[in-house]
Amino acid sequence: MSILLILASQTGNTRTFVDFLQRHSEQEITVCSDFEESIKDYDQIAFGSYTWGDGKIPTKMKKYLINHQHELSNKDVLVFGSGNSIYPNFCRAVDSIAKICHDCGANVIRTVKFEQRWNENERDETDLRFLIEDLRYWSRRD
C-alpha cells in the first residue's frame, strides 16, 4: 500500500515539498493532481495546496474534499501548502483543509505551511527535526 497525495499546485511552489515528503516517508507516495483517485483504498492521505484569493481553497481541491468527505473518517492526514505572507490569510487553505478533514473524522497528524517554495534550509532546526519525525510516524505501515 502507498500513501495518496492529492496535490493542487498552480505555480509549482506547493509541489516543491513533494521531494522532501518522499525522502522522509517510509512508504511509496502516489501523487494525484488530476483529482480522480479515490481515498477509500488508502490509510494515509496528504493534501498539498496553494491558497488563492483571500485565503481560499482552490476550487478543484474543495470539490474533491466535498465529494470524498465520507471517505476521510479514520484516515491519517497530513496537510501542507505554500503561500505568500504579504497576504493577511497566509496559507489559510492549509488550515481550512485540515479543519474539513478533522470535521470528517480524520486524524490530522501535521500541517506544514511555507513561504513560496519549500526550502528545508530555511526552517528552524528543531521544527525540521520534529517535522521529519512526524512524517515518519504518519507514513509508518501498520
Residue 24's pLDDT is 93
**Domains detected in the chain:** 3-139 (3.40.50.360)
Question: C-alpha distances in angstroms, 86 versus 29, 37, 55, 61, 89?
Answer: 32, 34, 12, 23, 9
* Average pLDDT per 10 consecutive residues for the chain, totaling 142 residues: 90 90 92 93 94 91 96 96 89 97 96 90 90 88 59
Q: What is the pLDDT of residue 2?
A: 86
Q: What does the pLDDT read at residue 18?
A: 92
Residue 123 has a pLDDT of 87
Residue 141 is predicted with a pLDDT of 63
pLDDT number for residue 51: 93
